[in-house]
């Protein structure tokens, strides 16, 4: 879908990008990463001709981009940036539909697309009437992604799209991006300075240094077989921990002991017979708390025994990675965390022991 052949960009005496060649297949997420000033953003901007290359060829869907009018090229490529760039005088809906308006879509179609995209990025429909100043940083980033997707372009270019928000919001945005990409299968080139983000989001990672491509491989290969000392040092020594970002919790969910919140103490004691901790769910199966057997006394009622929790703070969903599960365990001081579905209904749990086994296997490869 995207091919760069011996692309070079020179500014005076400085070579920003040097003989750079790369191919990105349809539906892949390619992440460009490297030290500051290595040419990541310059490379990205040459693809949609915001910057013209000094030499070399760039092809998008087999077409030489130098033979396509820049404005026509850009209308066919979604573009999301760190600073978002929303127009402050336009509503969220008007910002999202900037490109469809330029393409002269009919109003009913534009209205339907706005609703679709707000739902896709997880925002209520009433946000369409808000203005950028009324949005949080994470909400603005989501609107920026929605705008980039508005005309349903096959290609999406993203320049540190989650870099301007706090770590918790960034984690949520990354999870949302993974979900959206699984559904839409766009061809994406994303620039980041965050290796953890690259490992989590990429199908292939391009590590750059001084304008050159150093290694271009799947994240697992980057972690297990760095091509040289630069890549080895860039990846760091905690590769086993980083590897957990590539592994879904889905394959490691265990059945977990649980009781209904209206159960009898006899049911609680029976569930606690072989374990100290049990999860508590309501009549619909939604996680509402947990019980510690060590705190139970003969006169204790189940209402007194339940430690109430907010599921979204203590649990992980099936779209989470083992690294997220480990982080939640460390944050809560637990040796296991519950796994819930999108409606916060208990599915099972992930244990620290399972993560230790996966980490040991990674370190041995």
| CA gap 49, 41 in Å, rounded | 12
Specify the pLDDT at position 198: 92
Mean pLDDT of the 344-358 span = 90
Q: Tell me the average pLDDT across 27-54.
A: 95
Domains and CATH numbers, the chain: 2-236 (3.40.50.300), 250-364 (3.10.580.10)
Confidence (pLDDT) at 80: 86
Local confidence band at 363 (pLDDT 50, 70, 90 cut-offs): low
Q: Which residue has the tokens 């127009």?
A: 87
Per-residue confidence band for 109, with pLDDT thresholds at 50, 70 and 90: very high
d(CA 100, CA 106): 9
Mean pLDDT of 78-101: 86
pLDDT at position 364 over 70: no
Q: Grade residue 362 by pLDDT with cuts at 50, 70 and 90.
A: low
The confidence band for 218, taking pLDDT boundaries of 50, 70 and 90, is very high
Q: What pLDDT is recorded for position 83?
A: 66
Residue 163, pLDDT score: 76
- Beta 258-260 vs 277-281: how paired, if at all? parallel
List phi, psi (to 5°) of 75. Answer: -70, -20
A 10 A CB-CB count for 181 gives 17
pLDDT in tens, 160-192: 888 767 777 777 778 888 888 988 899 999 999
**pLDDT, mean of residues 245-258:** 88
Average model confidence (pLDDT) for the chain?
A: 88
Taken in order 146, 147, 151, 154, the sign of the CA dihedral is negative
Sign of CA dihedral 36, 38, 43, 45: positive
In 3D space, the residue among 261, 216, 254 whose CA is nearest the CA of residue 339 turns out to be 254
């Amino acid at each position: 879908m995207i091919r760069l052949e011996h692309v070079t960009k020179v500014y005076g005496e400085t070579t920003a990008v040097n003989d750079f060649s790369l191919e990105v297949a349809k539906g892949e997420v390619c992440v460009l990463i490297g030290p500051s000033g290595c040419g990541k953003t310059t490379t990205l901007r040459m693809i949609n001709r915001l910057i013209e290359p000094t030499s070399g060829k760039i092809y998008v869907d087999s077409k030489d981009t130098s033979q396509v009018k820049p404005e026509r090229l850009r209308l066919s490529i979604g573009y999301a940036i760190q600073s978002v760039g929303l127009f402050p005088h336009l509503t969220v809906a008007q910002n999202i539909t900037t490109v469809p308006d330029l393409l002269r879509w009919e109003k009913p179609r534009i209205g339907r697309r706005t609703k679709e995209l707000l739902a896709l990025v997880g925002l209520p429909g009433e946000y369409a009437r808000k203005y950028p100043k009324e949005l949080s940083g994470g909400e603005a980033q989501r609107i920026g992604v929605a705008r980039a997707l508005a005309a349903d372009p096959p290609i999406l270019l993203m320049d540190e799209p989650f870099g301007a928000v706090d770590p918790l919001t960034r984690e949520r945005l990354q999870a949302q991006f993974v979900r959206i990409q699984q559904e839409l299968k766009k061809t994406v080139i994303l620039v980041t300075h965050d290796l953890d983000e690259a490992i989590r989001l990429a199908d292939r990672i391009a590590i750059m240094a001084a304008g050159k491509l150093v290694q271009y491989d799947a994240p697992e290969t980057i972690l297990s077989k760095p091509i040289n000392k630069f890549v080895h040092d860039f990846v760091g020594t905690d590769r086993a921990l980083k590897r957990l970002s590539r592994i879904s919790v889905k394959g490691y969910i265990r059945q977990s002991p649980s009781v209904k919140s209206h159960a009898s103490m006899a049911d609680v004691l029976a569930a606690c017979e072989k374990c100290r901790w049990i999860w508590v769910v309501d009549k619909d199966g939604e996680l509402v708390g947990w019980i510690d057997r060590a705190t139970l006394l003969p006169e204790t009622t189940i209402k007194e025994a339940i430690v109430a929790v907010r599921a979204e703070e203590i649990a992980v969903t099936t779209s989470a990675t083992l690294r997220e599960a480990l982080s939640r365990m460390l944050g809560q001081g637990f040796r296991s965390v519950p796994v819930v579905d999108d409606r916060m209904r208990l599915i099972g749990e992930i244990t620290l022991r399972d993560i230790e086994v996966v980490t040991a296997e990674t370190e041995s490869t």
